[in-house]
């Protein structure tokens, strides 16, 4: 049977398509195919669990029914197993679209008819799939995103350490550019161990403040009301920062190893002013 026309003079480009509405525990599948009468279309709704084995069976069933094109909206992490299960079969296209793309098109769209609506729009060529990177690039992206979250968590811990010091009246952050530097760390460790004399703590400075003659300011900044509670907080935060430093360093190594195949692209990116190894 030739491709048919549907309402509003839209021409069907794909004869047998499936639209999938993805949820956490189940997916609804609408199969659009030629109807029993000439120039008609029919829709069949199926439902499947989201266990990977069931999704593989779903993909095989769609191929058995002659489906050639599949479309679904991006639903975060829940989309991934559905997409990869479908990619194991020889569909002509498996498209993942931006939900706003379908919502912006004319027509009523409800939760109960999401999959059918997607199939209707897709069969007429009105939806275009988003870019899905290859598996090896997705792995690099996952690692870089996790590294970013790790660095953000480290920054949050440093901010909490600064707040704990401020609460104790220790103004180290006002005179030191980095409260996690070597000298600042030694001062905090000495505070935790019980030292409260600002002059003795300031004498631990080994950097620019000593040569710039700022030890007097540093000595005043280190005099406060540092209690055992502050000591506990100032022990917890540096320990957590050290763990996150190790995690970020390990991720750097893994990312560099996986990104080695794009050496030429990395080199070109680093020619942009402000781009170093991490940004590239």
Superfamily of domain 7-123: Ribonuclease H-like superfamily/Ribonuclease H (3.30.420.10)
**3-state DSSP call for residue 271?**
coil
Q: pLDDT tens for residues 188-216?
A: 999 999 988 888 888 888 877 766 667 88
Instruction: In whole angstroms, give the CA distance from residue 150 to residue 248.
Output: 6
- Compute the average pLDDT of residues 141-158: 94
Q: pLDDT tens for residues 42-77?
A: 899 999 999 999 999 999 999 999 999 999 999 888
Alpha helices in 113-227, H assignment, sequence order: 114-123, 135-167, 172-175, 182-192, 198-202, 208-211, 215-221
Give domain limits for the chain.
7-123, 135-269
Whole-prediction pTM: 0.73
């Amino acid at each position: 049977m030739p491709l048919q026309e549907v309402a509003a003079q839209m021409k069907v480009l794909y004869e047998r398509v499936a639209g999938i509405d993805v949820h956490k525990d189940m997916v609804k599948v609408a199969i659009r195919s030629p109807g029993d009468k000439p120039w008609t279309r029919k829709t069949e709704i199926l439902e499947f669990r989201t266990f990977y084995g069931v999704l593989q069976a779903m993909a095989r069933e769609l191929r058995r029914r002659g489906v050639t094109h599949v479309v679904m909206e991006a639903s975060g992490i829940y989309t991934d197993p559905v997409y990869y299960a479908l990619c194991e079969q020889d569909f002509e296209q498996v498209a993942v679209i931006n939900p706003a793309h379908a919502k912006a098109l004319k027509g009523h769209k409800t939760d109960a008819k999401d999959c059918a609506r997607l199939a209707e729009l897709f069969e007429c060529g009105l939806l275009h799939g988003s870019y899905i990177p290859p598996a090896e690039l997705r792995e690099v992206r996952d690692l870089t995103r996790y590294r970013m979250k790790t660095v953000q968590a480290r920054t949050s811990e440093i901010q909490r350490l600064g707040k704990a010091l401020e609460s104790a009246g220790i103004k180290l952050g006002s005179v030191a550019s980095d409260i996690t530097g070597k000298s600042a760390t030694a001062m905090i460790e000495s505070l935790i161990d019980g030292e409260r004399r600002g002059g003795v703590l300031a004498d631990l400075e080994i950097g620019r403040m000593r040569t710039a003659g700022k030890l007097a300011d540093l000595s005043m900044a280190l005099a406060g009301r540092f209690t055992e509670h502050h000591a506990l907080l100032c022990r917890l935060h540096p320990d957590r920062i050290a763990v996150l430093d190790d995690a970020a360093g390990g991720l750097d190594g893994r990312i560099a190893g996986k990104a080695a195949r794009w050496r030429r692209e990395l080199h070109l990116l680093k020619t942009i002013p402000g781009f170093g190894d991490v940004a590239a």
